Chains A and B, each alone.
Chain A
Amino acid sequence: MIRHLLAAGDLDASTATRMLDTAGEMASLADREVKKLPTLRGRTVVNLFYEDSTRTRTSFEVAAKRLSADVINFSAKGSSVSKGESLKDTALTLQAMGADAVVIRHSASGAPYRLAQWIRGCVVNAGDGTHEHPTQALLDAYTMRSRLGRLAGLNVAIVGDVLHSRVARSNVALLHTLGAKVTLVAPPTLLPVGVGAWPCATSYDLDATLPDSDVVMMLRVQRERLTAGWRDSFFPSEREYSRRYGLDAARLRRMPDHAIVMHPGPMNRGVEITAEVADSPRSTIVEQVANGVSVRMAVLYLLLGGSS
């Protein structure tokens, strides 16, 4: 088994499948009266979050607590980081306190890799810059598999701000490994340079992609990364963006009857997805959150559960 989870691209098919299968067993815990397993008793998991996050941090916290690990939440705001402490010093401090695993979110791509070189415990990447967000890709794959019964051969469209999206990068890597076919759909300004080398297709035309898609995954328009002056150079206006790349009821009808709509959250209702689509039974958005807990339990168990 692997020691760190830094990138979905590092996972081979058997490791990824084992994580999804384990997540399936963890999911049955949600129906029980006592939602707790003694498996990681005495282990300490540190949530080290340098960026704002609600669902990922909470999800990791719930997952670790359901496995009886002790959880320490550390957010850069209100910590020594605001006094100028470096990532390395923070990491070594946490290690000295006995962290067995560090779950890190950082605005710099590659921060989890550096961290893994400095500390002895496991490192789990919970999103680094515009690079990767492997547990999101795992929970998305888990959701597709449980809704559609398989991953191999599925046509998955990932739509929107691919340029800034670590979710898209992780999904492309993992879905390719597991045999699904991914098409990235975005305006040319929001596709990264070099996307031609990725194991996926690209398109500028959402309407043409929809009829063949088993899964349509909408990405958030990342307002905080499309900073004021820059936003205008990616697309003329939010209104035009949502006309061309937003998912509304009319576009939902163009999708096959079995096809599902996904979104990693948080949503900008009315921009990339309309409220009607987000709340439709074809949307798996709430399910994805529940599955996130099961998948993160599986990851923590497989990284921390055995001998270290």
Chain B
Amino acid sequence: MSYPEMTDATTVAPKQVLNPADIARTVDRIAHQILEKTEGARDAVLLGIPTRGVPLANRLAARIAAFEGISVPVGVLDVTLYRDDLRMRAARAVGHTDVPADIDGARVILVDDVLFSGRTVRAALDALSDIGRPRAVQLAVLVDRGHRELPIRADYVGKNLPTSLTESVRVFLRETDDEDRVVLTGGTVA
């Protein structure tokens, strides 16, 4: 794609950052790390943040089950109604929230695809506190691209990906996009 008005800079071709095998290995590693840091996923609950945090949470639960035979409850936490940028554009569609019965005293692990400004996670923390009082909340992301605007960090990171603000990170997953890959697009070179 070319933009005629951009004369002094051209867009860079999308760059693949993770291929399907990379993503599978990364999910495996995070599943192991969760088992390690939560004493074998004791009281753990995985909550995926839509859209792509949900399939990731399911994959983590499946890998944890494969490694240790432990079944970890998985849920969905939609944060639309808690976002701080609702007034910036037209009303967004509200996604489905489905949290396993009781998260009081549980170790909740939030799962998302990309960690960027941290605002989605802030919204998720607010949403969570209206639903119950977990013993601890942790965060697992497939890609951390930096540029935090809030004091938030991830406990489990698939890949640290230094980016510039003009770039965007796109995560594709089989469940939502028919393929597994992570690409970096949009950066400009002089």
Closest chain-B Cβ to A140's Cβ sits at a distance in Å of: 21
User: Which residue on chain B has the smallest CB distance to residue A23?
Assistant: B94
Interface size on A, residues (CB 8 A): 23
The B-contacting residues of A in range 7-23, CB under 8 angstroms, are 18, 21-22
Complex: how many Å from CA A254 to CA B97?
Answer: 40
- The answer to whether B86 touches A306, judged by C-beta atoms less than 8 angstroms apart, is yes
- The answer to whether B94 touches A22, judged by C-beta atoms less than 8 angstroms apart, is yes
- The answer to whether B96 touches A25, judged by C-beta atoms less than 8 angstroms apart, is yes
- The answer to whether B81 touches A38, judged by C-beta atoms less than 8 angstroms apart, is yes
- The answer to whether A306 touches B87, judged by C-beta atoms less than 8 angstroms apart, is yes
What residues on A are CB-neighbors of B89 within 8 Å?
A: 306-307
- The answer to whether A38 touches B87, judged by C-beta atoms less than 8 angstroms apart, is no
- The answer to whether B93 touches A22, judged by C-beta atoms less than 8 angstroms apart, is yes
If A25-B95, A34-B131 touch, does A39 touch B86 (CB 8 Å cutoff)? yes
The A-contacting residues of B in range 81-104, CB under 8 angstroms, are 81-82, 86-97
What residues on B are CB-neighbors of A305 within 8 Å?
A: 81, 86, 91-92
- The answer to whether B88 touches A307, judged by C-beta atoms less than 8 angstroms apart, is yes
Closest chain-B Cβ to A71's Cβ sits at a distance in Å of: 18
Instruction: Return the CB mask of A48-81 against B: 1 if under 8 Å, else 0.
Output: 0000000000000000000100000000000000
User: Which residue on chain A has the smallest CB distance to residue B89?
Assistant: A307
Complex: how many Å from CA A252 to CA B63?
Answer: 54
Query: Can you offer 16 A-B residue contacts whose CB atoms are under 8 A?
Result: A22-B94, A34-B130, A34-B131, A37-B82, A39-B81, A39-B82, A67-B81, A301-B81, A303-B91, A305-B86, A305-B92, A306-B89, A306-B90, A306-B91, A307-B88, A307-B89
Which residues of A are interface residues toward B (Cβ below 8 A)?
Answer: 1, 18, 21-22, 25-26, 28, 32-34, 36-39, 67, 301-308
Which residues of B are interface residues toward A (Cβ below 8 A)?
Answer: 78, 81-82, 86-97, 126, 130-132
